[in-house]
Amino acid sequence: MYCAMTKQFVTDNCFQIVDDCLQMFGGYGYLSEYQIERYLRDIRVNRILEGTNEIMKLIVSRNLLKD
């Protein structure tokens, strides 16, 4: 349960940070010359790998209701 909570928290917050950075870069954020483009792709994949964040919420809620 704690791993699921951590994965969801970290990936959601990292995505928000990268998205805010992308807003600052504007259209340049999508160019491959800037690292923000790669960070956005990487964090997007991490939200899906090893269970989506929606599944992580389900795991946490089941464990909380079980106890």
Q: Kindly list the catalytic residues.
A: 50
Q: Please tell me the number of Cα atoms within 13 Å of 66 on its side-chain side.
A: 7
50 token code pair: 């090893």
